[in-house]
Structure 1
Amino acid sequence: MTETTRAQDPAVREEILSYYARGEEDARLRQGGAGRLEFWRTQDVLRRILPAAPARVLDVGGGSGVHAEWLARDGYEVELVDPVPLHVEQAAQLPGVTARSGDARSLPVADADHDAVLLLGPLYHLPERAERVRALVEAHRAVRPGGPVVAATINRFAGLHDLLHQELYFDPAQRARTDEEGDHGRHGPEGGLFTTAYFAQPTEVPGEFTDAGLVPEGQYGLEGVAWLMGGLDAWLDDPDRREAVLAATRRIESEPTLIGTSGHVLTVGRRRS
């Protein structure tokens, strides 16, 4: 499927657009304890996976450019595509970053035009498997042969873990909703804590890569169990302890019995050469 023969652009759900129009995602990754850990661990993994700069990186659903910014500083040529107008406006102001509006399921880019494609958020918000595969098919189309595609997913029981950590799981309504989500992975906007999303079992994601024509290579749990620890903010503020936390999570990042403890997982695949 070429750029000129793409199907009609799909619509992003209004509640998702409204949620991200608040402009809170950038601060979540730069300031919050668990968010900072997710941010630094994403950097850690990507710097080991991506081809050397100056490669062309397509950051799909890249938000305000929180990752595009450091990628550009590292010497990459970064193009960001996002459906939220505020995000496009913010990212376009970053040096070395080109930003435009677009949807992961219908990318406004030419075939095989990028050395790597990142989907560090879009799969969260596609509850239907066919839509997630469609986004991965588009990533497959956009990346050059042999290039990596890296996609983030939220783990199936991340909501349960997070609500326990925040002591919200003891509320009967929150508990019932969270327990139901554990059965099917679908999260609704009710309760105001998040928006429409899909929480994936790590084991199901490689199959979606395969169905999109990508060859799965590996998975990386980002936060381990550290994101649930009460002292995380203080640990990350201390340079020595921060390095210890990052080393500990790196040590278990691909351990199959522990991947599901992370809030987020990166799955890596490649387009066949």
Structure 2
Amino acid sequence: MPEFKVDRDVIQYYEKIETESDRLEKGTARLEGERTREILRRHLPAPPARILDAGGGPGAYAFWLAGRSYEVHLLDVVPRHIEQAKERDKDGILKSAEVGDARTLDFETHSMDAVLLMGPLYHLQERPDRIAALEESLRVLKPGGVLICAAISRFASFMDGMKQGYLFNPEFARIVLKDLNEGRHENPDMDPRYFTTACFHRPEEFEEEITAAGFDLVRTIGLEGPAWLLGKFDELWADEAKRKDLLAFLKLVETEPSLIGVSAHILSVAKAP
């Protein structure tokens, strides 16, 4: 298999920040996690299907799926993530957890019922690398197998900058301009508030890459919709009735083309022919 370059900025960023599982328990990331789990429940085959979580970090979704009786294989390019997963997996519920690259999967052809690409496609800045990751996912999927993959919206840093007040910081404004014009997110000063090296997609660009790799697109979903921009989010989320209503409304508009790009994250569901 060919060898691919791994961006050291991405590795260093994830070596330093809090774990993904912790992040998904705070602020609007709770909405991201809840919506992702709901979409996985809706679109994944029934357990004990065999799932590859490629680029799955320390296993925020891998452990949840394994707890639902799936056979889960976790792969991530960041060594710290796999160390964290192995430390957590005291009961051995993951089938495997290994350091690896989504562009060169060490799994047999047609061996998986589903593949998750919940991070690689927005950390690979070059289109050929993203296509390589998608083609590898297609290779290991059984015919009819399910791909669920994530992108970050082209407009995410602009909207987050308005919400957080970063937009009027000249350093961040330069980052946002490049995001909007090119979809290439770069943080040269490595300020942890401003994320790390990434590709930010328009919804139609994301769909085109998925189909170019050979998948049949099922649907594209705005994960958080506009709700991640809400003020007093913690107060709303703590109210069970309001939380339930919010999730119902987001599901209602999740595939509305004019709203998908407002979401911080975009999920696409596709199938192997």
Smaller-chain TM-score bracket: over 0.9
- Shift in Å, 1:28: 5.3
Residue 86 in 1 paired to residue 87 in 2?
Answer: no
- Shift in Å, 1:111: 0.8
Compare 88-97 and 140-149 and name the one that shifted more: 88-97
Compare 88-97 and 193-202 and name the one that shifted more: 88-97
- For 2:6 and 2:201, the matched residues in 1 are separated by 20
Residue 3 of structure 1 aligns with which residue?
Answer: none
Residue 224 of structure 2 aligns with which residue?
Answer: 223
- Shift in Å, 1:238: 2.3
Equivalence map 1:1-273=2 (5 Å): 6-7=1-2, 9-27=3-21, 29-92=23-86, 93-94=88-89, 95-97=92-94, 98-191=96-189, 192=191, 193-272=194-273
| Matched residue count | 266
Matched AA of 2:52: L
After the TM superposition, which parts of structure 1 deviate over 6 Å for at least 4 consecutive aligned residues?
none
- For 1:96 and 1:189, the matched residues in 2 are separated by 37
- Shift in Å, 1:31: 2.4
SS at match of 1:149: strand
SS at match of 1:257: helix
Matched AA of 1:245: L
Matched AA of 1:189: N
Distance change in 2, residues 1:205/1:157 (3 Å): same
The answer for unaligned runs of 5 or more in structure 2 is none
Deviation readout 1:196-246 (Å, 9 max, x if unpaired): 000000101121112211111111111011100112112222222221221
Matched AA of 1:216: L
Matched AA of 1:139: S
- Shift in Å, 1:190: 2.5
- For 2:22 and 2:254, the matched residues in 1 are separated by 22
- Shift in Å, 1:25: 4.0
Q: Is the 8 A contact 1:149 1:270 kept in 2?
A: yes
- For 1:173 and 1:29, the matched residues in 2 are separated by 25
The answer for unaligned runs of 5 or more in structure 1 is 1-5
Matched AA of 1:165: K
TM-score (norm. length: structure 1): 0.94
In angstroms, what is the RMSD of aligned CA positions? 1.3
TM-score (norm. length: structure 2): 0.94
